[in-house]
Amino acid sequence: MIGKLIIIGIIVVTLVILIPNSSKLFQNNSVLQTVKEKIDNVTSNKYAINASKSTINAISMDVKLINTNSSTGSSVKTNSSSFTNIPTTVYQLPSKYINQQNYTGQVFEKTGNTCEISVPAMAQSVNEQAELTHIIQLGQCSLNIGDPVQVTTLTAKPDAPTVNPSSGLQITPYSKNGGNSLPTLPDYYNMIQLSTVNHGNSTMLNFDDSSDQTKSVTVTMRNSDTVLFSGTFYSSKFTAEVKDIPNTPHIIEMTIDNVVYGTLHASAYAPSNAQNYTITGVLSK
């Protein structure tokens, strides 16, 4: 009888230990399922970054395009220090809860309503291979080829309310007349122009500083494998033809020594199969 009581006691103690912890076991299964759902969601994300259209692929953050016909835009502003409604996305968080960084990009290709935007300063390594430029693919795009845009990365701070997504990209076209709240391009965009025209296996480079204040321009053209061309020009205006260019994505980078603006950087990204294709450059300090 005593033996049976001891066995019953052991069973009771075991149940007392297991039952309170059983919820944790089920929670772990729930967490695993949640992780799986997030992975499935990310891998099916339509906003994919295609950095070379052939070899480098990565998943972008959520993307919002500010309305070009409105001063307020289509996404929620984040310049308030407080909120009355509970935010659900990073775009609705007050600015004090957000880390943000601005970059200059440019639409270099458009198919239907889908734009591809080159953002050289956001280039990173993907699968141990360096991007030529960071490319954002944006659906429902009202922009045109050649339009410069401001790309803003938004990331919720650790002390921010929980939101989903907690990071994203906000794409804003630059103002063409300064008559609205859209960002404006630096003054040197009105002075310095970089463009390239692809002619199959050759590329024509065109540089023009209308202020005639450029002392030198160092040019480098490269693809993912090698440097295709490099040289320095001591002029405020020049045209140069580079021959024997392989049909691969490549980027043209310029370092400009200017009397007025100091050192400027310019770049123009060219996708493959860009026959008779004119690309204007992105400038930055």
Whether residue 161 is found in the same domain as residue 193 = no
Whether residue 160 is found in the same domain as residue 207 = no
Range of the domain at 235: 187-284
Domain end, chosen from 115, 149, 173, is at 173
Domain count within the chain: 2
The strands making up 148-156's β-sheet, listed across from edge to edge, are: 62-65, 167-173, 148-156, 98-111, 114-119, 134-138
Whether residue 76 is found in the same domain as residue 137 = yes
Report the distance separating Cα 109 and Cα 117, nearest Å: 7
Is residue 221 very low, low, confident or very high in pLDDT (cuts 50, 70, 90)? very high
Residue 75 predicted with pLDDT over 90? no
Residue 58 predicted with pLDDT over 70? no
Is residue 30 very low, low, confident or very high in pLDDT (cuts 50, 70, 90)? very low
Whether residue 209 is found in the same domain as residue 236 = yes
Whether residue 144 is found in the same domain as residue 225 = no
Is residue 179 very low, low, confident or very high in pLDDT (cuts 50, 70, 90)? low
Whether residue 159 is found in the same domain as residue 72 = yes
pLDDT of residue 175: 86
Residue 7 predicted with pLDDT over 60? no
Specify the CATH number for the domain of residue 274: 2.60.40.10
Portion of the chain with pLDDT greater than 90, in percent? 51
Looking at residues 224-232, what average pLDDT do you find?
A: 94
- Report pLDDT digits (tens) over 249-284: 999 999 999 999 999 999 999 888 777 778 888 899
- Report pLDDT digits (tens) over 113-131: 999 999 999 998 878 788 9
The residue among 231, 217, 221 whose CA lies nearest residue 261 is 217
Q: Give me the count of residues in the chain.
A: 285
Whether residue 199 is found in the same domain as residue 131 = no
In a domain, 35, yes or no: no
Whether residue 240 is found in the same domain as residue 279 = yes
Looking at residues 217-229, what average pLDDT do you find?
A: 94
Domain end, chosen from 173, 203, 237, is at 173
Looking at residues 168-185, what average pLDDT do you find?
A: 85
**Which residue is associated with the tokens 């956001």?**
122
* R_g (Cα) of the chain, nearest Å: 26
Looking at residues 54-68, what average pLDDT do you find?
A: 49
Domain end, chosen from 173, 207, 240, is at 173
Q: Which of 48-62, 138-152, 185-199 has the lowest mean pLDDT?
A: 48-62
Report the distance separating Cα 135 and Cα 122, nearest Å: 9
pLDDT of residue 103: 94
The model's pTM is 0.69
Partners of 268 in the beta sheet?
Answer: 252
Looking at residues 235-239, what average pLDDT do you find?
A: 96
Whether residue 168 is found in the same domain as residue 200 = no
pLDDT of residue 228: 93
- Report pLDDT digits (tens) over 39-49: 333 333 333 33
Residue 216 predicted with pLDDT over 50? yes
pLDDT of residue 201: 82
Residue 177 predicted with pLDDT over 80? no
Whether residue 99 is found in the same domain as residue 164 = yes
Whether residue 168 is found in the same domain as residue 250 = no
